[in-house]
A = this chain, B = another copy of it.
Amino acid sequence: MALDDRKLAVLRAIVEDYVATQEPVGSKALVERHNLGVSPATVRNDMAVLEEEGYIRQPHTSAGRVPTDRGYRLFVDRLSRVKPLSPAERRAIERFLVGAVDLDDVVHRTVRLLAQLTRQVAVVQYPSLARSSVRHLELVSISSTRLMLVMIADTGRVEQRLVELPEPTAADEILELRTRINEKLCGRRLVDTPTLVEALLDEIRPEQRTTMAVLSSVLLETLVERREERVVLAGTANLTRGGILDFHGSLRPILEALEEDLILLKLFGEVEPAATRVMIGDETKIDNLRSAAVVSTGYGPHSTIVGGLGVLGPTRMDYPGNIATVRAVARYVSELLAQN
């Protein structure tokens, strides 16, 4: 059955009121607060239809209605208008992000900013190594058989690994290797390095091969294959806003899910270009997050995507507002990265 315009308006009103008051909303209150132009009885009929279709439900007889996940989905897809940011918010964003000294700083400031503006849990993924290129590779000698490999990515991300050499290697050998590796890898995408490194192994002098083999295995194993993706989160205290009524009863499952980097990456890391993604309840595909919703988007310099960011909160959240904020923050961060 198709829903006519008024029924949609009723659904929208229910979602908006419920998000604002956190209480089941009845037909009478609805006509009072929104000028729907019809009587409560009519609204009740519409509600009955909406309930039959699974967009709203009654917590118990003699209570008002509450949106279901399906109801929120419809609301997000068709009923919500984008809410422009307030000037105060814009200013907060700008002020917050200037003065960052390095990538760590940018990421941390961003996640706090997001948590503060949306009053939800915020998550920011570090620029993904999978989407980065090599800017520079440095080999720093620590002892004759031990050195530190430092990789600097174009995204500003820096990774270091300790390398045990099989035999003592002279400083100038190391230096030469460093030069060769940089010639080969600089500017290339990290995912392309395996073949390049393989080629390099053939090109260099035989006596350098064992050292190079160790280096390449560290490089490939710990940086390329096991791509260390990192995420930061902030604002967990926001989960306690509005009692424990959200998240039916216990924060436990939510907090547990937030401890799993893999889960966070799945939710916030896999973002397609220019799409703001909203996942509601079961759509997260995570059992512990049944009662939560996620708004995420990608960011990156010059319209590329190098990582994801977003917020997580109760399904009962201000979707239009959060979507607007997440987008705006992503845009600002992207600009910031483009400047570097």
Measured CB to CB, the residues of A under 8 A from B are 101-103, 135-136, 138, 140-142, 148, 150, 152, 156, 158, 160-162, 222, 234-237, 239-240, 244, 250-252, 255-256, 258-259, 340
Contact = CB atoms under 8 A, between A and B. Distances in A.
A234 B251 contact: no
Contact of A259 (B135, B236, B251): B236
Summarize A's interface: helix, strand, loop or mixed.
mixed
15 contacts: A101-B222, A102-B161, A103-B160, A135-B142, A136-B140, A136-B148, A138-B140, A152-B160, A158-B158, A234-B259, A236-B259, A237-B252, A237-B258, A240-B255, A244-B244
A250 B242 CA distance: 11
A293 to B, nearest CB: 19
Nearest to A243: B250
Contacts of A156: 162
A334 B323 CA distance: 45
A101 B101 CA distance: 26
Contacts of A150: 138, 150, 152, 158
B239 A255 contact: yes
Nearest to A100: B162
A141 B259 CA distance: 37
B251 A235 contact: no
Given A140-B136, A158-B158, A162-B340, A240 B222 contact: no
Contacts of A250: 240
A36 to B, nearest CB: 37
B240 A252 contact: yes
A152 B136 CA distance: 16
Nearest to A112: B259
B259 A235 contact: yes
A102 B162 contact: yes
B158 A160 contact: yes
Contact of A148 (B152, B222, B236, B239): B152
Contacts of A255: 236-237, 239-240
A252 B238 CA distance: 8
A235 B255 CA distance: 8
A250 B243 CA distance: 9
Contacts of A161: 101-102
Nearest to A101: B222
Nearest to A238: B255
Interface hub of A102, A103, A250, A340 (most chain B Cβ within 10 A): A102
Given A135-B142, A136-B140, A251 B256 contact: no
